[in-house]
Amino acid sequence: MEYIGGEQRPGCLFCRVIADPNDPDADLVLWRPEGAIVILNKFPYNPGHAMVAPVAHVATLEDLDDGATTDLMRAVRRTLAVLRESMNPDGINAGVNIGRAAGAGIPDHVHFHLVPRWNGDTNFMAVIDDVKIVNEALTQTSAKLRRAFAAT
């Protein structure tokens, strides 16, 4: 309900937290590598649901130059490794939604979603009521993943 009825802040989430480390949503930032940013999804599908975005404000992968693409993919690779090490998932969904019709919630700034998955992580709430229970507080997940990024 917070997502549906909550205040929608103007501007691009990624550009706001890249430009202003004091932005309220900057608390979700896990890592700021060269040319990219790694941020927790405020409304995750599962604990550890991270988004990896280039610094460049572009809508699609083909608009990135080779250097920005390399920076983005390095950040994706490292984030995958940190998620595996810290969250111990059985698998990870990795994807990019390009355009609103494809499900992009922030269609003007391309980004990867990396969602840790565990065998049996669908519980009865999702089956019966189309509700998802996330079993770890965002602040706990954030602290765990920040420590892992800092350690490697």
Identify the structural domains of the chain with CATH numbers, from first to last.
2-151 (3.30.428.10)
Q: CA distances (Å), 125 to each of 23, 47, 99, 128, in order?
A: 34, 16, 29, 5
Q: 138: exposed, middle or buried (C-beta count within 10 Å: 0-12, 13-18, 19+)?
A: middle
88-138: per-residue pLDDT in tens?
999 999 999 999 999 999 999 999 999 999 998 865 444 444 555 566 778
At 127, which amino acid appears?
Answer: V
pLDDT for 87 equals: 94
pLDDT for 5 equals: 57
Of residues 84 and 138, the one with the higher pLDDT is 84
Residue from 49, 109, 111, 113 carrying the catalytic annotation: 111
pLDDT for 76 equals: 98
Q: Collapse the DSSP code of 32 into the 3-class scheme (helix H, G, I; strand E, B; otherwise coil) and give the result.
A: coil
Q: How far is the C-alpha of 29 from the C-alpha of 31, rounded, in Å?
A: 6
Residues 18, 61, 38, 2: is their CA dihedral positive or negative? positive
Q: What integer is the mean pLDDT of 47-74?
A: 97
pLDDT level of residue 3 (50, 70, 90 thresholds): very low
pLDDT for 8 equals: 67
- Report phi then psi at 106, rounded to 5: -125, 80
Q: What is the pTM of this model?
A: 0.82
pLDDT level of residue 62 (50, 70, 90 thresholds): very high
- Taking CB atoms within 8 Å and a gap of at least 24, the contacts of 17-20 are 18/55
Respond yes or no: is residue 111 known to be catalytic: yes
pLDDT for 128 equals: 44
Find tokens 């809508």 and name the residue: 59
